[in-house]
Every structure is written in C-alpha cells, then in structure tokens.
C-alpha cells in the first residue's frame, strides 16, 4: 500500500514538473509597468532640463574639434538602435547580449565576430552596474562567444546554448538566420 501510494505521489510530481506555458504577452505587460509614469518621473524632469535651450559660447578651435569628434562618432556608431531581429542591412542582424554581473568593473563580449579581442566590444553597465549589455550586428551563421569579466574571468551566457569547449573555459553559441 505504501509503495502504491508513493507511485501515485510520484505520478503527481511528474505531472507537476511538466512545463507550464505562460502567456508571452506577460513580458510586454511587465515592461509597460516598468516604463510607467511613476517610474519615469526623474527621467522626465531630466529630459525637460536637457531640452530647454541655452546659450553656449565656445571658441572657434573648440568648435572645430567638436565638429570633428561628432563626425567621427557619426561615422563609427550605428545610426539607430533597431529592434531585435530587424536587419540593419540585408546580411546582418542586430543581436542584444545581456549578462547579470553585479560588482564587475568591466565586462567585454568576446567572440569570433571580433576576432576574440577583448578590447573591441566592451559592454555597458545598466541598473547600477548589475546588468551589462551590448547590441552588435551579426552576420548570418553560428557564432561562438563568451563574456570576459574584469579582464580575467570567462563567463558563458546562461541564456544561450553551450559551445563545445576546447580550452577549458566556457563559451556559448548564437545562431543568426540568413
């Protein structure tokens, strides 16, 4: 009787462990609440301060230097932040990478899209440095990558499939359709 009862209990547990689909629209509802007016009060007042026109006096040489800097910035930066999955050009897709790394001083995205050079794609800290993120354009295909924390610790992406490891430190893969 005891074993039979346990069999029934185990059947119940197996059933409860099965995946439960949640409405994916829940994500949008969460983000709508996160972006609600109560949240944005400080941002709105800061934006107002920025918008208000002011007179600024600069020397001609400073002006030339600023113009050159802006020109370089425009040349190197993407023209906009496109939505995930939307192509900026016909053969690249912007892909956003996010990692939770509180207390990190620096996090870099390193992979075969930047020749495994940790200097090329630093990630940006958001949420008081708890989240690190970057969006980069990736060509169609399969890309190996990892996060490098403080220039010393390799971290795989917990949200991505693992790459088969050749070197004793974790890597991940992302596949971009083409």
Partner 1 sequence: MTTIPRVSGFVLVVALLAARAASAQDPRLEHRLDSTTLAAVGALMDSARSAGLPVEPLVQRALEGTAKHAEPDRIIAAVRRLAGELGVARASLGRESSPAELDAGASALRAGVRPEDLTLLRQRRTQSLTVALAALTDLVTGGVPPDSAAAAVLALASRARDDQIADFRRAVERDIALGATPAAAAAVRVDATLHEVTNAAANPNTPRKP
Partner 2 sequence: MRAGDQAAYAVLVARYRARLGRYAVHMLGDRDDAEEALQDAFVRAYRSIARCRDDAKFGAWLFGILVNRCRTAGRRASRRQRMFVRDDASLARAAAAEPPEAPDWDVSIRRALDRLAPALREAFLLKHVEELEYEAMAELTGAKVSALKMRVLRAREQLRALLSEVERV
Q: Contact residues for partner 1 (CB under 8 A)?
A: 17-20, 85, 110, 112, 115-118, 140-142, 144, 154, 161-164, 166-169, 171, 173, 175, 177-178
Q: How far apart are CA 105 and CA 153, in angstroms?
A: 12
Q: How far apart are CA 55 and CA 2, in angstroms?
A: 84
Query: Restricting to residues 113-142, which ones interact with partner 2 according to CB under 8 A?
Result: 124, 126-128, 130-131, 133
Residue selected from 68, 100, 141, 165 as contacting partner 2 according to rule CB under 8 A: 100
Strands 141-149 and 107-111: antiparallel
Q: Which residue stretch of 66-74, 86-94, 101-109, 163-171 sits at the interface with partner 2 (rule: CB under 8 A)?
A: 101-109
Residue 122: closest CA among 101, 140, 141: 101
Residue selected from 3, 21, 48, 166 as contacting partner 2 according to rule CB under 8 A: 21
Distances (CA, A) of 101 to 80, 108, 128, 131, 140: 26, 11, 11, 6, 28
Binding at 142: pick from partner 2, partner 1, none (beta carbon under 5-8 Å per type): partner 1
Q: Where does this chain bind partner 2 (CB under 8 A)?
A: 5-6, 8-9, 12-13, 15-17, 19-24, 26-27, 29-31, 33-35, 40, 43, 81, 96, 98-104, 124, 126-128, 130-131, 133, 155, 158-159
């Amino acid at each position: 009787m005891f074993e039979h009862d346990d069999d029934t209990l185990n059947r119940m547990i197996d059933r409860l462990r099965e995946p439960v689909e949640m409405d994916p629209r829940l994500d949008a509802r969460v983000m709508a609440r996160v972006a609600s007016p109560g949240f944005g009060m400080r941002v709105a007042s800061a934006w107002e301060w920025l918008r208000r026109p002011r007179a600024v006096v600069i020397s001609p040489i400073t002006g030339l230097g600023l113009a050159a800097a802006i020109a370089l910035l425009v040349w190197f930066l993407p023209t906009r932040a496109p939505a995930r999955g939307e192509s900026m050009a016909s053969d690249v897709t912007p892909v956003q990478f996010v990692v939770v790394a509180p207390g990190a001083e620096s996090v870099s995205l390193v992979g075969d899209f930047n020749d495994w050079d940790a200097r090329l794609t630093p990630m940006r800290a958001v949420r008081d440095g708890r989240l690190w993120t970057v969006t980069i354009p990736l060509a169609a295909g399969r890309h190996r990558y990892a996060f490098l924390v403080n220039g010393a610790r390799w971290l795989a992406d917990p949200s991505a499939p693992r790459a088969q490891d050749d070197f004793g430190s974790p890597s991940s893969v992302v596949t971009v359709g083409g």
